[in-house]
Copies of this chain bind each other. A is one copy, B any other.
């Protein structure tokens, strides 16, 4: 009797139960393919702080040219190939941080919630898997107002996904996205962004805390000027004891931009300023051998930066299976 016939007759579990301790090849039953990634959360320490990196998912984008509007397609394809990546599409990842400082439970950016593609919106599941109740988040730090960073603050139906969190936003970013003059002159691609900012923030506008760059926002976490990707784009430094983490937000959106810091991502609203911020932050990370966390680098999105020729190289941190 062949394997398929036995399987059809007995079904998976029954076939296994019927098998001998050392089944012959014929008696082997196929286990079902599981077809699902594991819960993608990862924990690491920065000094006494506990950081949990949580995947929100990924989006596949067939418009490869968008990776660098100032380069030709073959250059981009070559860079993708050199990074052992497919060249026919770019998969954009989203990794959100929760930092437990012992005093505060801080979410840095929020993903899409239920406002995105079917391949995103995994933050809620991953928070549950990680043992973090969204109601215990007391602070949300927002790096900038692009949809993939703020939409998850509020569900499509209107409810706040982190109902007990104080929300802190960059003052310059707030000003830009709430300025009717900016909205009217914005290119088409950003029009929806203005509407989304209203959807997310209007119900709570009076309670938002606006912050400047170079300030400590909660004890141990400070804002860093990283303007360019957006008008008020912000990086963060998480510091505890000897530990320091540079949260680069969207200064480095992809490994090929780490290697080619002058390339202009379609989403860099001021490309020259974005490239300058990218190089400033990567220089700092390389010089100080500072650990970084980057929203769009592959999960768990943390590692180190070295200077390599005219660009940089990302070295993923070693996975720690035991904390």
* Chain A residues proximal to chain B, CB less than 8 Å: 3, 12, 16, 19-23, 28-31, 33-43, 50, 52, 55-58, 83-85, 91, 93, 100-105, 119, 122, 129-132, 135-136, 138-139, 160, 163-164, 166, 204, 207, 289, 298-300, 303-304, 315-323
Residues of B with C-beta under 8 A to A132: 31, 34
Give the dominant DSSP class at A's interface: loop
Cα A166 to Cα B25 in complex, Å, equals: 9
Known A33-B102, A135-B16: A57·B321 in contact at CB below 8 Å: yes
Known A3-B103, A23-B164, A122-B321: A37·B33 in contact at CB below 8 Å: no
Cα A92 to Cα B103 in complex, Å, equals: 33
Inter-chain contact A37/B207, CB cutoff 8 Å: no
Give the oligomeric copy count: 2
Inter-chain contact A40/B321, CB cutoff 8 Å: yes
Cα A319 to Cα B126 in complex, Å, equals: 15
Inter-chain contact B138/A23, CB cutoff 8 Å: yes
CB nearest to A160 among chain B residues: B21
CB nearest to A82 among chain B residues: B306
Residues of B with C-beta under 8 A to A316: 298, 316
Cα A16 to Cα B133 in complex, Å, equals: 11
Inter-chain contact A104/B57, CB cutoff 8 Å: no
Output the least CB separation between A80 and chain B (Å): 11
CB nearest to A59 among chain B residues: B322
CB nearest to A130 among chain B residues: B38
